[in-house]
Amino acid sequence: MSEPSADVLMPISSSNLNETTVSPSSITLNASNGNLDNAVTITGVNDGIEDEDQAFSISLGTTVSTDLVYNGLNLVDINMINEAIPPAILLFSAGKYRGHFIGTTPQ
C-alpha cells in the first residue's frame, strides 16, 4: 500500500477492561510515521480475583481518514491471554523481611 495522504486514526481497545488496559486508546498514522513502529502498551489488571487465565482480544477498530484508501479499514483483532499469576506475598517477622514468598517468585 502507498503511504497515506492524510492522517489515519486507528482506535485500539481491549475486549475485557477488567483484565487489561490499553494505552494509548488510538494511534494516528500518516506519511511521516506510517512505516515506523508505533508502541501500544497492554497492561494486565490485578482484579484481586484468583481465577484461571483469561482470554481477551485487542481490537484494532475501523480506521478513520479523509484518505479514502485508508478510511473504513476493518483490521483484524489480536487474541491474547492474561495469565493468572498468584499474588506474591512477603512475610515479615518482628518488622524484618524474612524473604519468603507465597505465590510467584519475583524476577
The answer to whether 54 and 81 have CB atoms below 8 angstroms apart is yes
What pLDDT digit, counting tens, does each position of 52-67 carry? Answer: 888 888 898 999 999 9
**Burial tier of 93 (Cβ tally within 10 Å: 0-12, 13-18, 19+):** exposed
Mean pLDDT (whole number) for 85-95:
46
**Burial tier of 85 (Cβ tally within 10 Å: 0-12, 13-18, 19+):** exposed
Q: Select the more confidently predicted residue: 15 or 81.
A: 15
Q: Select the more confidently predicted residue: 81 or 26.
A: 26
Average pLDDT across the chain, whole number: 77
Mean pLDDT (whole number) for 46-54:
77
Q: Select the more confidently predicted residue: 88 or 82.
A: 82
Q: What are phi and psi of 103, to 5 degrees?
A: 105, -120
